[in-house]
Structure 1
Amino acid sequence: MDGWAGAWTGGRRAVHLGNVADFNDQFLAAGMDAAQRARRLRQAHHYAGMAACYSPEPALLVLPGEVERAWIDWLARELAWGPVELYSGIAPGGTLAEALAARPALAARIAAGPGPVVAWGRTAAHGAGPALAAVRRYESKAAAHRLFAELAPDHPGIVVPRQEQPDSPRRAARRLTARAGRGLTTVVKSPHGVGGYGTVVVTPQQLFAAGGGRALLRRLVRDEVLPPGGALLLEEYVDGGRAEHLRDLTFDAVIGEDGRVHPVGVGAMEVDGTRYLGVTVGPGVVPPGAAATAERFGLAVGERLAADGHRGWYDVDFVTDRERRLAPTETNLRLTGPAIAFVLRARLDQVRGPGHLVRTLDGMPLGARLSQEALYDHLDRLRPRCARLGVTLLPLVVTAGYEPEPAVGLALAARAAADGAPNAAEAADAAQALDAAEALVGAANQALGRMFEALR
């Protein structure tokens, strides 16, 4: 099989490991207390439900949280999978690597196949070497920024925001206050973070309302917006003006074992402040000019990552400025939420025909706390309503429905053309169908709260 799917799994059914918590754990701040670390691991275990769609067709799936078989059967029906071995609930409190160390029979089953093993990201459990070193180097937003600045002069349409790294928290607070005094908004970043954690946009008004830079930074640590201790990066805020529809873009690619870089695609992300919410991928989603600019730069980044030893999935995230230039903000040497959307699009195109748009919604709020059984019934009632809009509903994150702030992760897919490549009007119609389905599901989720209030 050619292209990125061949480089990723050789076109074979794969073993999927939901090791999101393991990957994140290697970058957690040293000053984080046990309770906060436990909360971070728990959130990551929920997100590991995405592991079902790490590749176009799983053969064996290992999940840290308990997932009922019915969810996998739902996906298998829609995506034409063969039988999937499921091992779930194996690491409710720790990391997947810790759990597998205590279950040698399961570890041996994973090692035996039946296909290549794919994981969220590389950790020490995969062995040391240049690949792990590359991950630990370029997952740093400081190292990624230096790479962007080095490559950008050869790429028209790319602008790299200025970044500085103060040598102490006190110095960071002073520099942040000085910037606010000049009327400048600043993006404050921890060198490592995922999904928006460890990154915050600070306006002058917010800083002075908090009582200055030191008071604001203390509050952000207390509120678990920023990790405790460690370095901070101060980055120029890129004003997108009215370019909100295409404000946040991602380019994804796969580096094969031979070091060749295979582009996957460019998607339009939905980001609230700095918190990633989801992505839409497929024909017509990103204008050709912006997609080409992102791809050229993203491939150049990938060539450098490959030269430094990285193998596997990576992405480059961008924000759009007022002149429609793309500003790279970070690179992720792992799977991400958008990677799942690209995988789903590839599988749907393969089994149903080309032309799909896919939107992932990683944490849609629920109006009430639901068990997995009740959540299944709720989504099953929505499935035919989405189908009448021409949209396929796919459950992804199904274990967070009973959290204090309950949520569910979903994918929505619509086919833009019955055969061949869709034209602009067909792509627009598919995007509108996704909008309608998202609105339908969101309203139904919120109505759950009113339903339970009626029972009081």
Structure 2
Amino acid sequence: MDGWVGAWTGGRRAVHLGNVADFNEQFFAAGTDAAQRARRLRQAHHYAGMATCYSPEPALLVLPAEVDRAWIDWLTRELDWGPVELHSGIAPAETLAQALAARPALTARIADGSAPVVAWGRTPDRGEGAALAAVRRYESKEAAHGLFAELAPQHPGVVVPHQERPGSARSAARRLAARAGRGLTTVVKSPYGVGGHGTVVVTPHQLLAAGGARALLRRLVRDELLPAGEPLLLEEYVDGGRGGRLRDLTFDAVIGEDGRVHPVGVGEMAVDGTRYQGVTVGPGVVPPGAAAAAARFGLAVGERLAAEGHRGWYDVDFVTDRERRLAPTETNLRLTGPAVAFVLKARLDHVRGPGHLVRTLDGMPLGARLPQEALYDHLERLRPRCARLGVMLLPLVVTAGYEPEPAVGLALAVYGAGERDAPPERLRARTGGEAPDPARAAEAVQALDAAEALVGAANEGLGRMFEALR
């Protein structure tokens, strides 16, 4: 099988390991205490629910948090999977590797060679050597920045923000204050920030309101937005003007075992401040010029990563400036939230015909805490309402609904013309595969927007519903 699916799984059904916590733990700051570690493992275990869609068709799922079988059956029906073997709830308070070490039969089942094994990212238990060394090197935002700066001169339309590494926390505070004094916004980064931690945008107003740079940095450490006792990177903030669509882009690709780089696609991410919220992928989402520029640069990055030993998934994230030039901000040598959207698109295109747009919403707030059974009923009521908009609703992260700040992760999918039930033959004839006209792409995006608004309003309404019962 040609293309990225062939490089990823050979087109075969795969074993999916939800080892998000294991991957993240490699990059925890030295000062991370037991309570912080427990919170981050728990957050990562919820997010590992995305493992259901690490490849187009799973054969066996290993999930750290307990997932009701009904959710897998929902996905199986919609995505036309064969039977899926489920092992969930095996690592409530430890890493997946620790849990599997105590389960030799399951470990042997995973490693029996009957199916390829895909995981969130490479960890010591998944192999040492050059591949792991490449991950640990280029997950660093400092090393990635150096690579970007080296490659950018050969890529017109790509600009690399200035980055510096002060020698101490006191020096970082001085440099941050000096930049604020000139009216400059700064992106403060930990070299290894994962799991939503380690990147903060600091405006002059925020610095002044906090009582100065040192006070602000102390508060960011206290709030666990930056690590304690770790070096910091100060990066130029790229002003995107009025914002709107096409502010945050991602290019994803797969490096095969032979070192060849296989492009997956370019998507438009939704980012709140510095926190990733979701992505939209599919034909017409990103204009051809921007998509081509991101792909050219992303492929050049991938060739360097391959030369240094990386194998598997990677992405390059960009922000755009006022002139819509691309500024690369980081590379991730692992699966990502957008990877799941691309996988879902590939599966839907395979079973329903080409031309899908997919939007993932990784952590939509819920207005009330819900156990999984009640959450299922809530989403089941929303499913036909989304379908009337031409949009398919797919559950992804379903274990965080009873957290103190309850949330759910979802995917929304639509044909490029917004017609869920259009026959594949008519779809292919109309769109020519991956190139619908801009009007139809805009129609599909509007359908996704409408479905997202519907789900968001219904989630928020849960709180009012429970208030009415008091």
> Into which bin does the TM-score normalised by the smaller protein fall?
over 0.9
Query: What is the root-mean-square deviation of aligned Cα atoms in Å?
Result: 0.7
**Residues 243, 324 of structure 1: 8 Å contact kept:** no
**Residues 261, 302 of structure 1: 8 Å contact kept:** yes
Query: How far apart are the structure 1 equivalents of 2:181 and 2:452?
Result: 41
Whether 2:220 is the aligned partner of 1:206: answer no
Counterpart for residue 436 of structure 1: 450
**Residues 59, 114 of structure 1: 8 Å contact kept:** no
Counterpart for residue 438 of structure 2: 424
Counterpart for residue 182 of structure 2: 182
Query: How far apart are the structure 2 equivalents of 1:368 and 1:382?
Result: 16
Counterpart for residue 379 of structure 1: 379
**Residues 20, 120 of structure 1: 8 Å contact kept:** yes
Query: How far apart are the structure 2 equivalents of 1:424 and 1:236?
Result: 34
Query: 1:179-209 deviations in whole A, cap 9, x for unaligned?
Result: 1111110000001112541100000111111
Counterpart for residue 391 of structure 2: 391
Tell me whether 410-419 or 34-43 shows the greater mean CA deviation: 410-419
CA-CA distance at 1:429 after TM superposition: 1.1
Whether 2:276 is the aligned partner of 1:276: answer yes
Tell me whether 410-419 or 283-292 shows the greater mean CA deviation: 410-419
CA-CA distance at 1:126 after TM superposition: 1.2
The TM-score, its normalising length taken from structure 2, stands at 0.96
The within-5 A match list for 1:141-290 is: 141-290=141-290
CA-CA distance at 1:427 after TM superposition: 1.3
| Code of the aligned partner of 1:248 | D
Counterpart for residue 453 of structure 1: 467
| Code of the aligned partner of 1:451 | M
Counterpart for residue 402 of structure 1: 402
Unaligned runs of 5+ in 1: none
Query: How far apart are the structure 1 equivalents of 2:353 and 2:346?
Result: 10
Query: How far apart are the structure 1 equivalents of 2:228 and 2:72?
Result: 38
SS at match of 1:157: coil
**Residues 252, 264 of structure 1: 8 Å contact kept:** yes
Query: How far apart are the structure 2 equivalents of 1:227 and 1:221?
Result: 6
Query: How far apart are the structure 2 equivalents of 1:378 and 1:112?
Result: 39
Query: How far apart are the structure 2 equivalents of 1:62 and 1:401?
Result: 20
SS at match of 1:267: strand
Q: What is the total number of aligned residue pairs between the two structures?
A: 456
Query: How far apart are the structure 2 equivalents of 1:27 and 1:178?
Result: 30
**Residues 396, 410 of structure 2: 8 Å contact kept:** yes
SS at match of 1:15: strand
Counterpart for residue 327 of structure 1: 327
Counterpart for residue 339 of structure 1: 339
Query: How far apart are the structure 2 equivalents of 1:210 and 1:43?
Result: 28
| Code of the aligned partner of 1:350 | H
Counterpart for residue 39 of structure 1: 39
Query: How far apart are the structure 1 equivalents of 2:447 and 2:339?
Result: 22
CA-CA distance at 1:114 after TM superposition: 2.8
The TM-score, its normalising length taken from structure 1, stands at 0.99
CA-CA distance at 1:156 after TM superposition: 0.4
| Code of the aligned partner of 2:298 | G
Counterpart for residue 112 of structure 1: 112
Query: How far apart are the structure 1 equivalents of 2:365 and 2:334?
Result: 26
CA-CA distance at 1:424 after TM superposition: 1.7
Query: 1:203-254 deviations in whole A, cap 9, x for unaligned?
Result: 0111111111111000000011111111100000000002431100000000
Query: How far apart are the structure 2 equivalents of 1:24 and 1:424?
Result: 39
Tell me whether 191-200 or 176-185 shows the greater mean CA deviation: 191-200
Query: How far apart are the structure 1 equivalents of 2:113 and 2:410?
Result: 28
Query: How far apart are the structure 2 equivalents of 1:334 and 1:255?
Result: 11
Query: How far apart are the structure 2 equivalents of 1:384 and 1:278?
Result: 22
Counterpart for residue 369 of structure 1: 369
Query: How far apart are the structure 1 equivalents of 2:67 and 2:227?
Result: 30
CA-CA distance at 1:358 after TM superposition: 0.2
The within-5 A match list for 1:29-108 is: 29-108=29-108
Query: 1:346-400 deviations in whole A, cap 9, x for unaligned?
Result: 0000000011000000000000000000000000000000001100000000000
Tell me whether 199-208 or 238-247 shows the greater mean CA deviation: 238-247
**Residues 176, 234 of structure 1: 8 Å contact kept:** yes
Query: 1:113-160 deviations in whole A, cap 9, x for unaligned?
Result: 431000000000012100000000000000000000000000000000
Query: How far apart are the structure 2 equivalents of 1:428 and 1:368?
Result: 33
**Residues 49, 396 of structure 2: 8 Å contact kept:** yes
Query: How far apart are the structure 1 equivalents of 2:134 and 2:154?
Result: 23
SS at match of 2:245: helix
SS at match of 1:91: coil
**Residues 195, 276 of structure 1: 8 Å contact kept:** no
Query: How far apart are the structure 1 equivalents of 2:87 and 2:114?
Result: 15
Percent identity, aligned pairs only, is 85
Unaligned runs of 5+ in 2: none
**Residues 21, 41 of structure 1: 8 Å contact kept:** yes
SS at match of 1:305: helix
The within-5 A match list for 1:290-301 is: 290-301=290-301
